[in-house]
A and B are shown apart, each in its own frame.
Chain A
Amino acid sequence: MLTVSDLHVYYAEIHALKGISLEVAKGEIVALLGPNGAGKTTTVKSLSGLLHPRAGVIELEGESLLGLPPHAIVTRGVAHVPEGRRIFNRLTVLENLEMGAYIRSDAGIAQDLQRVFALFPRLEERQTQVAGTLSGGEQQMLAIGRALMARPRVLLLDEPSMGLAPVLVEQIFETIVDINRQGTTILLVEQNAAMALDIAHRGYVLETGIVVLAGTAAELVANADVRRAYLGE
């Protein structure tokens, strides 16, 4: 569904991604793992159009996304939940969700709102509240719910577990699985490799801008390097 090949991204003269290739098939959860600075966030930012790769291919079902502005990429069905949530603090919860559906004007919006509220009942309780007053976990729910309002075919999740208590992380990951079961393809960037590989079908390991390992979740979990470096053994 989503094909990336030989992607090169530079920050000024720093070569951040040195020819990344990866593939996300329809209906999959694919984990993108690796240490800080490996290029995970750079990769998803390139996919959503926030960064402009110098070379490479990004295709969504055969259509190139390269060089398109972020708003055009959302329209084509790729939604990005950025690192650090980035919800609109001064807007209400409901307004945040409405902004998620900004590109749409169809009758299905109300239905999708109910779907988001079903996934995250806390958001329904707090819909008139200003988003900046939500707890960290609620903010992450809002960030994911907001992205779902665009009814994306592919969801890019950047560090959804960041800064959350373990119990909340578990809850968020369960919801990610639910969202995937409802038909959304997911590319998941995570530092928490154990959790990510637990729900992912496949994974890629990035180090200093290149893919050093790729395989099914089971293969990665069994890999000695991965166990040592990311699973704390």
Chain B
Amino acid sequence: MRGGWPDKLSPVDAVLWGFRLVVLVLVVWGTIGTVLAAKYSGEVWLDFLVFGLSQGSIYALIALGYTMVYGILRMINFAHGEVFMAGAYTAYFVADALARSGHLDRYPLPSLLLVLAVSMTTSTLVGVLLERVAYRPLRHAPRLVPLIAAIGASFFLQYAFRGLYGSGFKAYPEPDILKGVWTFAGVRILKTQAVVLVAAVIMMLGLYAFVMKTKTGTAMRAVAEDLEAAALMGINVDRIIVTTFAVGAAMAGAAGLLYALVFKQVHFFMGFVPGIKAFTAAVLGGIGNIPGAMLGGLFLGLVESVGPILFLDGLGIVAPYQLKDVIAFTMLVMVLIFRPSGLLGERLAVKKA
């Protein structure tokens, strides 16, 4: 952002400042209204908080794929939501078979791990294929071209799954051990949400360790910073790019299973909204920045969950929860306008080719 005040306020600036002010006033007013009305108990707030965090951790897992690919190729892989869907959808068949045979309840942990493995493997395959078929041939094309290819690939995957498995919802089986609640120190938490949150956090820490501590992870960061210089180190850049797609897709596949555990259904179009939300989360955290994607995801989930009743209920809006997407996308627009580098931004000024 430019330092100091502009000499003259242009009409665009005035509108933007007005927009900022309106949002701020609405948020403050709504929050005060909600707090004063004291309609919700502490337990309700806690429920929304935990739901927001578990939802946000799923966004964060998906957001990692957007941010890692962007970091290396400066390209938004808009088919990433479908990579997520492909994993969850394919794993559904395994989960369903395991539920029918009774294995899911008799051996819940191995069964869930198997379903997770199938989901991650499928997503990884789809992600790698996507890179090979749709993006690599366009590596040196103008930036708009791979973006269009991504949107095309996204439709292709959606309608391929629709063609193969129909357009209906399929109910994901719920293992018995994940039904019900746990109580910690008088606080009750839905088992599914706790498991989702813990699993997602473990996965994110694992990814972070991989990127920061291993040779391949360091090479990824090197390629992200300067592709040509990385090639001069003897790094096979193509292989690192495929690895990045694979790792990002595996995270999306894991997120797919967690999402299916929370919402208990799959559908050919299920990748679209979480995909866009995760993209929002990645932008929110500062696209290209891995901790940023994690933080952005958790933050978005939280605001989306707590925001409607905190900001909107106090304004007298009926059924504010219907407007959670409005909150998410208003945040996206605000970040793009006022702080395009995101929450964490770029840590160093870097020359971009």
Contacts and interface: CB of A to CB of B under 8 A. Distances in A.
Contact of B237 (A71, A79, A87, A90): A71
Interface in A53-111: 69-71, 74-75, 79-80, 82, 86-91, 95, 98-100, 102-103
Given A71-B236, A95-B218, A89 B225 contact: yes
A153 interface: no
Contacts of B236: 69, 71
Nearest to A79: B232
A23 to B, nearest CB: 23
Contacts, number: 75
28 contacts: A69-B236, A70-B228, A70-B234, A71-B233, A71-B235, A74-B232, A74-B234, A75-B234, A79-B232, A80-B232, A82-B229, A82-B232, A86-B226, A86-B228, A86-B229, A87-B229, A88-B221, A88-B225, A88-B226, A89-B225, A90-B221, A90-B348, A91-B221, A95-B222, A99-B219, A99-B235, A102-B215, A146-B233
Interface string A112-150: 000000000000000000101000000000000011001
A100 B230 CA distance: 9
Given A71-B237, A90-B348, A48 B232 contact: yes
A87 B348 CA distance: 13
Nearest to B236: A71
B179 interface: no
Interface in B308-340: none
Given A95-B218, A98-B218, A90 B225 contact: yes
Q: Per DSSP, are chain B's interface residues mostly helix, strand or loop, or mixed?
A: helix
Contacts of B215: 98, 102
Interface string B197-220: 000000000000000000100110
A90 B350 contact: yes
A227 B222 CA distance: 42
A71 B240 CA distance: 12
Interface of B: 215, 218-219, 221-222, 225-226, 228-237, 347-348, 350
Nearest to B218: A95
Contact of B347 (A88, A90, A146): A90
B123 to A, nearest CB: 28
Nearest to B238: A69
Contacts of A103: 233-234
Contacts of A74: 232-234
B218 A50 contact: no
A34 B225 CA distance: 31
A82 B228 contact: yes
A91 B229 CA distance: 13
B302 to A, nearest CB: 28
Given A71-B235, A98-B215, A99-B218, A89 B348 contact: yes
Contacts of B229: 82, 86-88
Contacts of A147: 232
A132 B219 contact: no
A74 B230 CA distance: 11
Nearest to A156: B232
Contacts of A88: 221-222, 225-226, 229-230
